[in-house]
Amino acid sequence: MTYRVRNLVIAIGLALVAMMLTLFYVTNYKRSVQNSTASVQVYVASRDLRPGISGSDLVKQQGLRAENVRRQDVVPGAISNPDQLSNLVLAGPLFAGEQVTLRRFADAAAQGIRSQLKGSLRAVQVAGDPNQLLAGTLTAGDHVDVVANLRASGAIQTNSTRIVLRNLTVLSAPTDSAVAKVSSGGTTSAILAVPDTQVPRLFYAMKNADLTLVLRPVSGATDSADRVENADTMLRGGSR
């Protein structure tokens, strides 16, 4: 093979390699363009959403809707399935039409008491001595009634005792040892979930009466008729 023929073969080979590389680049470029313009399904907020709502409630209340967007317009962290939010709670505001991303949510367990407050429920911290608050027995998730001993107004002031609130959920209970949460004054505290209309009733009892918590059965709890006890009823009533 002459020198000229060899150079010609080399040139043709290099040209073929360059052509193949060009074709490969063009093919990949077209594929990437097609992928970026292809439509994918994401979920967006169907209305303005406030922080604190759980992912499961979002789905139940139809707070999300599916939309098709170009792949290149998908926001990082955008969800493709509402089940991804099942154990999460919205940590910040989400506006109508905004893509729903995992970055806007937090672990529900990390929210603590806040994640358990819904609708008209409010958290109220009740102080008392360990006996009043069942320290060592009460645990978060228990249900309790509130018994208050009130001084009745009138010409003859007498104390009367009755159940003033029923079936409140315990959000936070005193510790078992009652040491970590007992203050220098000998008191400890529990946090209860209370309907907003009943908060003034509980607060009045906290400020004007001696109160105690009574634990309800875990299942099958029933409520008897309301009864008021005072010195007169105690003396008249007999043991059965």
Name the residue ranges covered by the structural domains of the chain. 39-112, 117-219+228-236
**pLDDT digits 0-9 by tens, 36-60:** 557 888 899 999 988 878 888 888 8
Q: Are 127 and 192 in contact (CB under 8 A)?
A: no
How many Cα atoms within 13 Å fall on the side-chain side of residue 225? 1
Residue 177 has pLDDT above 50, yes or no: no
pTM above 0.75, yes or no: no
The conformation of residue 171, written as its DSSP 8-state character, comes to E
3-state secondary structure of 83: helix
Q: Which of 134, 147, 124 is nearest to 199 (CA)?
A: 124
* CA 45/CA 104 separation, integer angstroms: 12
Q: What is the pLDDT at residue 202?
A: 94
| Model confidence band, residue 113 (pLDDT cutoffs 50, 70, 90) | confident
Residue 11 has pLDDT above 80, yes or no: no
Give the residue, 17 or 165, on which the prediction is more confident: 165
Residue 150 has pLDDT above 60, yes or no: yes
**pLDDT digits 0-9 by tens, 201-226:** 999 999 998 899 999 998 888 888 88
Q: Which of 43, 41, 38, 52 is nearest to 102 (CA)?
A: 43
Give the residue, 32 or 143, on which the prediction is more confident: 143
- In terms of residues, how long is the chain? 240
Q: Across all residues in the chain, what is the average pLDDT? A: 82
Q: What is the pLDDT at residue 190?
A: 92
- Mean pLDDT, rounded, for 14-39: 71
Residue written as token pair 């009864």: 227
Out of 3.90.420.10, 3.90.1210.10, 1.10.540.10, 3.40.50.300, which CATH number does the structure's domain 39-112 have? 3.90.1210.10
Residue 89 has pLDDT above 60, yes or no: yes
- Out of 14-18, 165-169, 195-199, least confident range: 14-18
Distances (CA, A) of 80 to 35, 41, 84: 17, 7, 8
